[in-house]
Each structure stands twice: as C-alpha cells, then as structure tokens.
Amino acid sequence: MFELNSVPKAKENYKATQNACKLCSPLGASVAFKGFKGCVPLIHGSQGCATYIRRYLISHYKEPIDIASSNFTEDATIFGGDENFKMAVLNIINQYKPEIIGIASTCLSETIGDDVSLFVHHFLDKHPDVKTDFVMASTPSYQGTHIDGFHEAVSSVVKRYAQKGLSQDHVNLFPGFVSTEDLRLLKEIMADFSLEHIMMPDYSESLDNPVWDTYHRIPEGGTAKEDVVKSGSAKASIEFGTILNKGKLSGRVKSNKLSRTGAQFLKNEMDVPLVNMPMPIGITQTDAFFEELKTLSGNDIPEKYTKQRGRLIDAYVDAHKYTFGKRAVVYGEEDFVVAMAAFLDEIGIELALVATGGESGMLEAEIKKYCPENKDKVVVREGYDFESIREWSLENKPDILIGHSKGYYIARELNIPIVRVGFPVHDRVGGQRIKHLGYSGTQELFDKVVNALIEQKQSNSPVGYKYM
Amino acid sequence: MSNYLKDRESQILTKGNDAAEISCDKKSLAGSVSQRACVFCGSRVVLYPIADALHVIHGPVGCASYTWDIRGSLSSGPQLHRLSFTTDLKERDVVFGGEKKLYHALIELIDKHQPKAAFVFSTCIIGVIGDDVEAVCRKVTKEKGIDVIPVMSEGFNGTKKDGYKIACGALSKLVGTNNDYEAPKYSINILGDFNLAGELWILAEYYKKLGVEIISCMTGDGRVEQIRRAHKASLNVVQCSGSIMHLAKEMKEKYDIPFMKVSYFGIEDMSEALYEVAKFFKDDEMLAKARELVTNEISKLLPALQPYRQKLEGKKAAIYVGGAFKAISLVKALRLLGMKTVVVGSQTGNAEDYKLLKDLCDEGTIIVDDSNPNELSEFVKLTGANLFIGGVKERPIAHKLGLGFCDHNHERKEALAGYVGMMNFAKEVYASVTSPVWKFVK
C-alpha cells in the first residue's frame, strides 16, 4: 500500500521523461531480426507491443513489416505465457513457414519470469517435425534502449549459429543500426575490395523492397543462417560503434551476459579478431575504415573511393565558411551521435549540445575522443529527453539541429533548420534511404547541412539573393 | 477459405457464400499478426485529444515513445496532449516498485504544466509489480487540487475495446462534476469525434447553423471543464460508437441523457445526423434550417463530385479500419463515387455492425473481423481491388501490391467528415486511383 509518509524528498534528481529520445529494446531486436533470411520476429508480450513497433517502423520504412505477437491475456500473465507462446509459434509456422523465429521478450514476460527457452523445448517436444529454428533475445524495455535490443538480437543469432573453424578469407561486418542505403553501400564497398563478407544484420532488402506482384509473407533478403555459421571462421570482424550495449546499461540492476555483442562473442569464444571503430561518417573515420579494408583485403583502395574522398575534401573546402562556428545540437542513439559529431567536428561546426536518451556513461569520453576541435567546450548529455533538449536550446540558441525527425518541433519553435538523419524519419519520404556512411554518404550529409544553413540565411535575408 | 489460419475462419465471410454470422469480439489469435493494438492503446486514443489534461504513462519507456503526438487531433488552444510523459521505469523500479517515481513525476509535471486534470495510464507491468496507482492518484489529487485519474489499462487485460471501456470510465469520473453551469435550450455533447484534421470544427459549424450548442466533445478538442458539465446537455450524439458507447449508456442511466448513433462520413450519413438531431428537439424551425443546410450543401457538392465519379465509376475498393461504423459510412460514400466495396473489415466491430455491413454490401463482398496482412493481401488480390482504405499499417500493403490508398487513420491531415470532407475524400481517392504511377507497377 502506498503511504503518505513513505514518499521521500525527490531523491537522485529523478525527473519524469518528457518526449523520450529513445525507444524500447524489442523495437531494436525486431529490426535486427529482419536482417536475417527467413526470420519472423515474435514479440513475447501484449498485442500492443508488436503493433506499436510495427506502426513505428512502417512509418519510417514505408514497407509492410510483419511482427508477430504472442498476445498475452490476463491468464497468461498470471499463469505464464507458455500456452500463448505455443499457439503463436504454431500460427506463425502455418502462416509464414519461417526458417527462424526471432523471439524478443518484453517487460511483461520478463517481469513474470517466463522462461522462453523452456517454452521452446516444450514446443519442440510436442512438435518434433518442426524445422523452424528459434532464436531468443532478452529485451525487457526497462533495460537500456532500442539499441540494446538491436545488439542483443544480433548477438543471439551469432551465438545460436556461429561455429568455430579454421580462419578463412571472409570478414564479418557488424554495421550497427544504420539505414538500408548504408547497408547497400557497405556491400558495394566490400565487393569493390573483393572482400567476401558476412553482414549481420542485413536488412537492406527486407526493409526496402521493390514493388511486388504478390504479397511476400517474408520479404526477400537478410543474411542466411548458413553464412552466420561461417562467421566463427572469419578472418576478422569489423564492428561499428564504440559504445554498443556496453556501459552501465541504464537502470540495470546487474550487468550480465547481455552486455556482449556478436562480434565480441566471436572474439572471445572463437578467436575471431575484432576491429572495433566508430561508424564511418566523415573523412577521418571513413579513412580508418578503408585502411582496415586495405589491410584485410591486401588490396589498394579502389580509385573510385580515392576520387570520392577527393571530391568530398573539395566540397569541404568550397563550403567551409558556411559551416564554421555554427552551433549545432546533435541527438540520437549514442554510437550514431558519436559518428555524426566526429563528422561535424571536421567541418568546423561547434558541437553546442550532444544528447542521447541512452545512459551508457560513456558518451562524453567518446565524443571528446573523436571530436578534437570541440573537446574542450562540447556539452554532452546522457539520459536526455526532447523536453530537456528543447529547454537547453531555448536558452542557448543553437543554429541548427541534426538528428531524427522527432526533434522537428524544437527546430520549428526556434525557427532554425533541422537536418534529418538516423532513425526515425516519420515526417518525410526517403528516411530509410538516407545515406550516412563512407565518403559518398558524408558527401550527401555535408551538402544537406551546408544547404540547410545557406537556406536559413537566404530565407531570412531582407533582399534574397541569387548567388551564394 | 482454407488459405487462412483455421482458428480465424469464423471471422471471415463472403456475402452470398457463407450463411453464418461472422464471429467477432474475440481476442486476437496469438501469432496472427493482428492489426490491433492493446488495452492501453484503446484507452490512450480515446483520452488523447483532451488538450488541457496531463497524460502520464506509468511504465517503461516504449508505450510513451510510440504514442507521442500520434493522433492528428487538433486543439484550438492548449497543446499539452501532444507531449509524451512517462515515469520511464527501469529494472530497479520493477524490483522495488514505481510508486515513488510516479508520485514525483506527477508533482513535477503538474507544477510545470498546470493541467486541469491528469490521467495516469498503467501499462503492462504495473499490474504485475503491484504499484498502488490509485493511492498515488488520490494523494496527488489531494495535494494539487486537480483530478488525477487512474486509467488501469494494462495491455494484456483484454483487447483494444476493453481499453475504450476503461477510458470511458475515466471520462465518467469527470462528467457531472460541475453543476453550476446552465445549459442553453438546445444543447448536445458530441461523443466519439476526435477532431482529426479539424473535423469537429466542421461539424460545430453545421450545428451552429441549426441553433444547437455543443457543450462538450469527447474527446476532440477536449477540455476538462467542458467534460465536467457534459451532463447538462439534452442529447448525446455518438459517432465512433465502438469507442465511446459505454459512456453514452452510462450517461443515459445516470443523468437520463438520451443518445443517438450517427456518422459524419458521406452525404447520406452526414445529412441523416443533422436531421435526426433536429427531429430530436422537435423544433420545426430547426428542421427547416437543417433542410436548408443539407439542400444547400448537396446542391453544391453533387455537381462538384461528378467529374470524380466519372473517373472512378466501377472501381473496386477494400476497406479495413478500426471501427466498423466508420466502415459502413465508407461503403456508402464509395457508392456515391460509383465505387464498389469488395472487401470490408474492422479491428473492433461488433455483431450488430457486421450485420449492418452484410446487409449493406453487395454479393461476393468479403467481410472480415480482426484481420492481418496475409489475409488482407490475399483478399485484395482475390477481388482485384483498385483502392484500399485503411490506416498506417495497411498503407504499405496496398502500395506494395500496386493499389491506390486513402488514409482513414487517426493521423490524417485531410478532414473527411461533413460535406467538405466528402469532397476531400473524393479528391484523395481520385488522386490515388488515377495516378499515372500505377502503369509502372503492373
């Protein structure tokens, strides 16, 4: 019973979250599962979890995204979700005939203590002829953010399939939560280096389909489980993101095995060397990525990319005055924000505020590490929500917002431009196709940032003008 | 219909082929990828448009993130409803309880935003970890002097429809709490309009012309103070009956306010609504005004629709929306455009709705309750539909298969109610069905 005298003074500076700058972990897990061939995500919880997440993803990807739910009832909540789980699995198999069912748990199923692996065993005992594989990710939404869910799902697939073997010539690529266009770019780069690779996950096709003649219950694309098997015998893993699901893992009582990513698992258990680096946005980080590829492939950097790099530097030079000293607010997922900030740091932007809803405890150090120009003055905030970003911005008057579409209302109120990057982009078309990575992705970002600043100046000019 | 999950067969019928009544009001089948959401969703959407109330979601972050600024419910004043507030529970709170966080969150947010009332939504785990949300609400009510109303909407506790009922319960705690108000002679409440794209304002204009005052709308452009005095109205006019009928019935019992079911979509239903209200007040002058308004609007609208009808005549439409009553109006509105409904379904229709639909539709029309992407895509193919009317989750299914699409969701930016709404509807259907892009799809 809640008692009057049991309420202490507002301790540990607790504040309600207003307009969260993060999502819950089953969302990230669902995206990651979509990046494996023949996989249908199943969210083990109430119907709403799956439907809300579908709706949120559909509004970004503009694709049909089927995510099943075990659709908890009151009985399931009291007596356990075993029956619902079994029924869900049967119905998914009947409808979708999936190779893999990727199960993401929820706050509900974890709180009542459902043991999903036991349910799977029960199910397979009763249905020995079922050929579908099961992969389980523990993703209660009270732990971490959608990014934790993403890495947890990737890691669960790797743990399920990877087999140790003699080191071969291929490499593993763990791109993190990037756009479908980014994934396509990475594949192209790997091909240009003649590097055979296994990308985990790869939703470049499954979340960005062409039009169809008939409905594809499971969209094409995704990394095949047979390939994941081989990830244990890769020459190396390249993993983008330096924070990943590490750190204090917001609100987690104990740190546990979840804090490992797929790449780290392969390193620890199967001796696959790990190259861990920020997402390649900007010249410095893209250079680092290409250097790695050069080493791993033994091939020179293809001329196509040296030219892209040259053009990008040329563009930096042509437009350097428009970006210099402009004060930006950058927000979003931690690793993405590190990479964006590193790029903006290169072009003379002042990082006024770098904010995230995540709470790894690592963001400030990473930002300072990768943003040499800004390291002495940048303001970094973790566990921030959009109202905090708004209040900060009203007081500190930045020139530009750089992040996903949920920050739009702040830009509108301040009458400053917003450059939409990352996830989600719900108020524009093409959000899923924004290219961020590599020289060519950086080129597109650079043009967008510069033009947003120019447009702002032009629109607010009393005369308007026809030349820059 | 052997292509569908066996346990779903009773929720699908084809008029003319299947004699039995459709089965509905069932929980969604696990693993079926239902287009429905949960209890919380039902409560959240109904209360969402109350613009001067604080809506706090008690639970981990997801439910608040996914429902931030989710509806196109416009407010003529405060915008508080468009913000997303949550206690953002972490693992520690799940172990030790979230009551203190909830208490502090409410105090902080009420001080900051000065709302007229607060709704506290319990999400799934709240019921499980045993937070005494009601006690916290009582305490904050006492301290802050505003109604802090618990909405016990744990997602697993039924279907979206149960969430509607819980929301109605929350509303009924406010209704009747202001007795000082003197209602004008002809006054109504509008129930079940959510002022999407400003639709309430269109209706308000019509009612004003009839001389009828709207005391409150629940919940479009809603205000706490108006809801408090809603019991002074002479009549409840109910649209979207699925979501708000419980409240209408309760107000009938408690305050003896009669209610009537109406729809504002399409010429027929819109006109019917105005006539019915005028007839209720037994005022000849009002009825004459209604006739004048209807005649006036229709004489402008029908010729304006003609060019669209010419292009759309004979095209086939599939409808899958939240409420079945809306689907009924859409079938009629499509007929006015010369279009035939070949598939019609809803997430939450009841037996009565489906009977009406069955009577209304042509032979061969597929009628479905609580459908899913696999079924909907099959139906569309089977019937050769040219247009799909639905919400966010149906849009990519239609587009992927090369069908036109009309947004009839709750985030739409085009008003579809009233006569002007019918015109917008025709334009949107026309724009989608006759776009040149389809030639590349086939």
Cβ–Cβ contacts within 10 Å for residue A131, how many?
Answer: 8
- pLDDT average per 10 residues of sequence, chain A (468 residues): 50 84 97 98 95 96 94 85 90 95 96 92 94 95 93 96 95 98 98 98 96 90 98 98 78 54 94 97 98 97 98 98 97 98 98 96 96 97 97 98 98 98 97 97 98 96 89
Whether B131 has its CB under 8 Å from any CB of chain A: the answer is yes
Whether B26 has its CB under 8 Å from any CB of chain A: the answer is no
pLDDT on residue A249: 56
User: Is B71 inside any structural domain?
Assistant: yes
The answer to whether the CB of A356 falls within 8 A of the CB of A382 is yes
> Dihedral (C-alpha) B32, B36, B40, B41: value to the nearest 10 degrees?
150
User: Is B19 inside any structural domain?
Assistant: no
Q: How far apart are CA B347 and CA B349, in angstroms?
A: 6
User: Is B306 inside any structural domain?
Assistant: no
Most B CBs within 10 A among A61, A107, A146, hence the mutation to make, goes to: A107
Same domain, B69 and B155: yes
Minimum distance, in Å, between the CA of residue A193 and any CA atom of chain B = 34
| Ranges of chain B whose pLDDT falls below 50 | 1-2
What interhelical angle do A262-270 and A146-161 show, nearest 10? Answer: 30
Whether B382 has its CB under 8 Å from any CB of chain A: the answer is no
Same domain, B160 and B210: no
Same domain, B49 and B158: yes
Dihedral pair phi/psi, residue B318, rounded to 5°: -115, 135
Token pair of B337 as six digits? 């455009």
Peptide bond into A132 cis (omega under 30): no
Same domain, B272 and B199: yes
Place of tokens 């459908």: B371
Beta strands B12-14 and B53-58, pairing class: unpaired
Whether B302 has its CB under 8 Å from any CB of chain A: the answer is no
The answer to whether the CB of B237 falls within 8 A of the CB of B260 is yes
The answer to whether the CB of B80 falls within 8 A of the CB of B54 is yes
Name the fold adopted by A25-277.
Rossmann fold (3.40.50)
pLDDT on residue B26: 83
Most A CBs within 10 A among B65, B94, B320, B437, hence the mutation to make, goes to: B65
User: Is B58 inside any structural domain?
Assistant: yes
Residue B156 has its nearest CB partner, among A63, A76, A141, at: A76
Same domain, B267 and B324: no
Of B64, B79, B250, the residue nearest B166 (C-alpha):
B250
Q: Judging by beta carbons within 10 Å of its beta carbon (0-12, 13-18, 19+), is residue B359 exposed, middle or buried?
A: exposed
Task: Identify the domain boundary among B142, B173, B204.
Answer: B173
Interface touch A19/B27, C-beta < 8 Å = no
**Model ipTM value:** 0.94
Domain residues for the domain of B275 are 187-291
Total count of domains within chain B: 3
Q: How far apart are CA A37 and CA A102, in angstroms?
A: 11
Same domain, B326 and B285: no
The answer to whether the CB of A329 falls within 8 A of the CB of A400 is yes
Same domain, B202 and B84: no
Radius of gyration of chain A, Cα coordinates, nearest whole angstrom: 23
CATH number given to A302-460: 3.40.50.1980
Residues of B with Cβ-Cβ distance to A211 under 8 angstroms: 399-402, 441
Strand order in the sheet with B366-369: B12-14, B366-369, B340-346, B316-321, B387-390, B404-407
Interface touch B68/A19, C-beta < 8 Å = yes
Minimum distance, in Å, between the CA of residue A111 and any CA atom of chain B = 7
Residues of A with Cβ-Cβ distance to B89 under 8 angstroms: 107, 142, 251
Distance of CA B76 to the CA centre of its chain: 19
CATH number of the domain that B60 lies in?
Answer: 3.40.50.1980
Residues 262-301 of chain B with CB under 8 A from chain A are: none
Interface touch A90/B31, C-beta < 8 Å = yes
Interface touch B132/A1, C-beta < 8 Å = yes
Interface touch A17/B88, C-beta < 8 Å = yes
Token pair of A465 as six digits? 């003008």
Task: Identify the domain boundary among B173, B200, B234.
Answer: B173
Residues 173-232 of chain B with CB under 8 A from chain A are: none
Residue A223: DSSP 8-state: B
Per-residue burial over B90-114, b = 16 or more CB atoms within 10 Å of its CB, e = otherwise: bbebbeebbbbbbbbbbbbbbeebe
Interface touch B155/A7, C-beta < 8 Å = no
The answer to whether the CB of A456 falls within 8 A of the CB of A416 is yes
Residues 422-441 of chain B with CB under 8 A from chain A are: 441
Whether B90 has its CB under 8 Å from any CB of chain A: the answer is yes
Q: What is the 3-state secondary structure (H, E, C) of chain B?
A: CCCCCHHHHHHEEECCCCCCCCCCCCCCCCCCCCCCCCHHHHHHHHHCCECCEEEEEECCCHHHHHCCCCCCECCCCCCHHHCCEECCCCHHHHHHCCHHHHHHHHHHHHHHHCCCEEEEEECHHHHHHCCCHHHHHHHHHHHHCCEEEEECCCCCCCCHHHHHHHHHHHHHHHCCCCCCCCCCCCEEEEECCCCECCHHHHHHHHHHHHCCEEEEEECCCECHHHHHCHHHCCEEEECCHHHHHHHHHHHHHHHCCCEEECCCCCHHHHHHHHHHHHHHCCCHHHHHHHHHHHHHHHHHHHHHHHHHHHHHCCCEEEEEECCHHHHHHHHHHHHHCCCEEEEEEECCCCHHHHHHHHHHCCCCCEEEECCCHHHHHHHHHHHCCCEEEECCCCHHHHHHCCCEEEECCCCCCCCCCHHHHHHHHHHHHHHHHCCHHHHHCC
Same domain, B45 and B157: yes
DSSP SS3 for A106 = coil
Interface touch A253/B33, C-beta < 8 Å = no
Per domain, the residue ranges of chain A are 25-277, 302-460
Residue A215 has its nearest CB partner, among B28, B83, B401, at: B401
Most B CBs within 10 A among A4, A6, A25, A52, hence the mutation to make, goes to: A52
Token pair of A111 as six digits? 């709180």
Residue B66 has its nearest CB partner, among A45, A56, A250, at: A56
Task: Identify the domain boundary among B125, B144, B173.
Answer: B173
User: Is B130 inside any structural domain?
Assistant: yes
